Structure formats: structure tokens, C-alpha cells
Chains A and B, each alone.
Chain A
């Protein structure tokens, strides 16, 4: 199977390449045309470091005839790259978020449908075994009916790539970066449409570097009455031993479930610095997600999370951005089938 990587802009590109290199039967090729920000190892140099075949531009990459394309470009460029990939007839794995505007998201869905290809969203957390267990136990009725959820996806301010904090390329700040993972988990669990969103933000943390919000709190009201709250802040300190975390608490009529997705670790202390030592050992969700994607490409089985999940989670982000801007609660764009 031939897999093309479009852009190394997102740091996940390197992770996916490592995992795919370890997967038998995969031929990999990447393109990451510049110009690149100074000081960032990108393009041919990064391809050499990773040991992956490289071509200088996307036309040549897609002319290679890949079976599937992984889009790991800057958020704002997802639309352009997904449209190019769809035209070649390849299935697509798109880094989150799907897009940065509702119009771009709808155009991507239209392009994917027109060319008869499928797009899977790169939402790895729903592939966690703890989440699979939650879905199983919920479906078995152990929680009763879910009526309230809270989630937190906190992380360090992304610094290895400057575009994350350039709204022209990222589409915003913490809201666009971190709301979608929790939104995806709720979508997978409940399968109901989000309706109304309220958000409040600030840029107190990392204020000297921030060009968009660095902290954000969002509430979401769903069609079945379920309420949710998401903390999407880049509130993990630069000096933290871990990148951040994803947590979710689900309240059902029969009880609650709390999941700390990246929680399992052995813990101690670095006695030379006095800093905590945290060695996480949990499951690699990216690996499970890629396996699911490759299976779908190979067998034609449905891709989940689909582009519609990408759109529904995007509808929450754009509503949250509008709410933070206006101070009002905002109705989300309804997704017509």
C-alpha cells in the first residue's frame, strides 16, 4: 500500500511516519515544500532524518498514485491539501481540526463526496481502550442515561512549530487546538448533535508569545439535553515533565466514570533537580488509529471518525470562537446530511 504524507508541518507527521515505517507492506513518501520557518527542521532534511522517501512538491507526490494520503499540514491549509488528495482518488487521513472555517469544512466534504473518496479524522483518543470500555459499558446500560460531561485537554504551549501560535495558519489559539478531542469523544459516545456553545477565554499565560487565546473554557448544549464543559487551555507549564493530558468525566443517571487517558505512569523524583519524574506507559492511541485507517483503506470498511464528525467538532470550535469574541451564547451550524 502506497501512503503519501502531505506536509510535515504538524509534529504528528513524524510520529505517523515512525509508526508506518514499522508496519509491514507500507510504501511511504512525503512532501513538505517550503519556505519553512527559520530554525525548524522540515522538508528534505526532516525526511532524511526520519529515513522516509521525499519529493519536492505535492504534484509529484500525488502523481505517484498513493492509495491513501495523510494530511498533516497547518490547519489553514487542510482544505487545499484535502481537495488535491481527493482529486487523485485516494482515501485521506486528516489531522485535526478538519478546517478552520465552516465554509472550508463544507467544501472539503463536497470535494470528498464528488471524488468518491473517504476521509477519516485523526482523533486518536477515541481509540483508547478506556474509551472502548466506556462505550461498551454505556451501551450495556451500566451508566444509565448520560446527562452531563466535563472534559479537559490541557497542554504546553506548542513551541516546536511556530505556526501553532500564528492565527493566520492555525486558525486561532487553544480553542482550535484542544476543543475537538473532547468534542469527538462526546460525539462518539452520544451520537447527538451539538446545538449551543458558550466560551470564555484569555491570554494571561504565555502572554508575550500569545497572538490568540491561551486559555479557554467552553460549555456545549446537546440536542438530547446533555450538557458538557471543556477546558482547552494551554495551561501545562513549559517546565512540566509531561506535555499535558486529556481527561473526561461522564455523569450518567446510575453513576459516573472518570477517565484520565494519559494517566498511567511510574512516578518519582529526579534528585539532581528536585523535579518530578513521570514516565508514562499507556497505550499508543495513534498506532490503534492508524491500524484502523489502514484496515479501512484496504477493505473499504467505513471510516470512523468520519468527515461528518470532523464537521460537527468544527462547528463547536467556530461557535466557541464567536462566543468568546461576542460574549454571547452561539447556535452551532447544523450539519445537513
Chain B
């Protein structure tokens, strides 16, 4: 299990799989992929073997990297864990708390590793925030705001909440996880959401309020907006000793005039792919932890807790009332 050149089976070859790919190829392992459709990065790429079926891929792999639509995570991850394979799973682990909990306990029972790919923990600005909080630089955390905003994703399955979890389950879960990572367990969740459309283009926005056991309060805003929106993220965190704020747009250090000299809007937050690719870092963290029997930055329990908070937010949207979360 601690081989230095693991065989990594990538399931899915769409947007997130394309983001994982450079990190997988740089990890020292060999990569094989299976998907129903293949994004350009996977076509005629002689560094990647195309598997003939999901079963064949799971059989071949030491580690499965599941980067498929969310509603398929549970089935595929369960299949891999059942036959003794470690798993990297794109967030969220599953659409329901029960499904996520089943995967976590299955991994624990079989002594396997299950790594939920909450990549925002590996984005440099968010990593700096975590370091500052852990070092006590901000004192006791009082109030936090997170924003994640971009165009509504083009792949049709995102518009189907029963497959994607919608803006809360797919997009905002990044910041729900960050909030818990920074300020600890959440005891109350409330949320409001507005879905609409414009000329056949879906739009969805939500606001989630969290009350942490520590007393800290958090606002997470998510927007899947107009088709030509840039992807941007922001945070503002204030404690008794100081505050840190971030805006991805304000921190851009490559500006062009006219704007169109820059490549088109991306569905992922801006990142430095050459120097500090957060996707490569999360994969490297998992593979190193696997080799050294250490703990990666994100545990399977973290992935489960993120699902619990997101599901509570969706429950609050449906019921129109805040949801109390039992302490774990």
C-alpha cells in the first residue's frame, strides 16, 4: 500500500478531472482513466491509458480518483472501497449525510483511505488564513464572511439539484468546509436560496448563516450567475486581535488592457497552475500521507461534516427555519 508509484485510476474526464490531471501526472504514479465522455485534455494523451470499463479501472488501480457528477460518487466510491482500494473523491463525498457516513465508516472498517478533495484548503490565500488563525494572530474569531461567485456551470447536470446539490451542495460546500476548518463545529445553520432563469439560462444564489459552537458566526454567499461572469472568491475574517480579508479579483497580479487579452472566464477560481497548483497540492498531500501513514489536511470525517452542514442548509431552505446540528 505504500508503493512510491501508485496506479491511479481516474473516473470521469470532465472539468474537475482535467483540473486533477496535471497533479496526478506529476505525482509519480501512473494514470489510467475511464469516462463516458472525454474532455480535450484526455484525447490523444499518450501519458494516460484509457480503461475499458469502470470495473477494469478499479481492478487495475491502487487509488481511485472519483471526479464524476456528484450523484454517482456514492456508488463508485463504495465499489472501490469494497474491493480494498483507497479513494480520492471530488467534493462533496455524497448528496446525503447517510451516503457520506456509509462511505466514511466503510473506509474505516476496511482500513482504507478516503480523501474528500476539498481543494480550497490548498488555495494559497486560504492556507495563509488558516495559518494565521492557528497561530492566534486573529485572536478569538468573531465574524467571518465567504463569497464564491461565477457563471452557472455549463454541464447540464449541475442544474439538476438532485444530481449536483445545487449552488449550496456543489459550490458553497467549499466555504462551509473552510468555515468549520477555521472556527470549528457548527451548531446552527440557516439558509435562503433564489433560483431563477433568464432566456433559458438558469441562475441560482444562496446565503447560508452558520453559528459555530465557539460562538463565531459565519456568512457564506454563493452565486451561479450570468454566463459571462468571472469566477471570484472573497473572504473577510475578524477576530479579537485582528482581521484578514481577501478578494481574488483585487489580488490579480497580471492585468491586461484591453481585457480581452486575457483568456476567457474559467469555471474554477484563478490559480497559479505552474507554481502553486492547489489541485496538485491536494493530490500530493494525499499521496504523501498515504505513503507516510500520516494524516492529510482533509480527513474523511471532514468531508462528512461538510456534507452535514450543506444538507442542513438545504433542509433550512426547504423548511424556512434554521436547523440545529447535534454536536459530533
A interface residues, Cβ below 8 angstroms from B = 144-145, 147-148, 150, 152, 196, 198-202, 204-205, 207, 214-217, 219, 221, 225-229, 231, 233, 235, 237, 249, 251-256, 327-329
Contact = CB atoms under 8 A, between A and B. Distances in A.
Contacts, number: 130
A255 B227 CA distance: 8
Interface string B131-167: 0000000001111010101000000000000000000
A219 B142 contact: no
A255 B225 contact: yes
Nearest to A150: B221
A217 B209 contact: yes
Interface in B93-147: 140-143, 145, 147
Contact of B207 (A150, A237, A329): A150
Interface residues of B, number: 45
B322 A329 contact: yes
B14 to A, nearest CB: 26
Nearest to A207: B240
Contact of A144 (B142, B198, B207, B239): B198
A204 B215 contact: yes
B226 A255 contact: yes
9 closest residue pairs by CB, A with B? A148-B205, A253-B198, A204-B142, A229-B207, A215-B143, A235-B238, A227-B192, A217-B219, A198-B190
Q: Of residues A199, A204, A226, A255, which shows the largest number of chain B Cβ atoms within 10 Å of its Cβ? A: A204
Given A198-B209, A205-B240, A215-B142, 14 more contacts: A144-B198, A148-B194, A204-B140, A204-B141, A204-B215, A229-B209, A235-B238, A251-B149, A251-B225, A254-B226, A255-B226, A255-B228, A256-B225, A329-B322
| Residue among A216, A229, A233, A328 with most chain B CB within 10 A | A229
Contacts of B205: 147-148, 227, 251
15 contacts: A148-B207, A150-B221, A204-B216, A204-B240, A221-B192, A226-B194, A227-B206, A227-B207, A229-B219, A233-B143, A251-B203, A251-B223, A255-B229, A327-B322, A329-B322
Nearest to B218: A217
A147 B240 contact: no
B28 interface: no
Interface string B224-258: 01101100000010111011000000000000000
Contact of B211 (A152, A200, A228, A329): A200
Interface in B242-277: 242-243
Contacts of A237: 242-243
Given A150-B147, A229-B219, A235 B190 contact: no
B217 interface: yes
Contacts of A228: 207
Interface string B182-209: 0000001011111011100101011101
A233 B228 CA distance: 33
B226 A196 contact: no
A216 B215 CA distance: 12
B75 interface: no
Contacts of B145: 152, 217, 231
A251 B198 CA distance: 13
A200 B142 CA distance: 12
A148 B206 CA distance: 8
A186 to B, nearest CB: 13
A204 B237 CA distance: 13
Contacts of A255: 225-226, 228-229
Nearest to A220: B192
Interface string B67-108: 000000000000000000000000000000000000000000
B207 A219 contact: yes
B53 interface: no
B246 to A, nearest CB: 14
Contacts of A252: 226
A147 B167 CA distance: 14
Given A202-B215, A205-B240, A217 B143 contact: yes
B194 A227 contact: yes
Given A200-B190, A233-B143, A147 B196 contact: yes
B245 to A, nearest CB: 10
Given A200-B217, A202-B215, A253-B203, A219 B240 contact: no
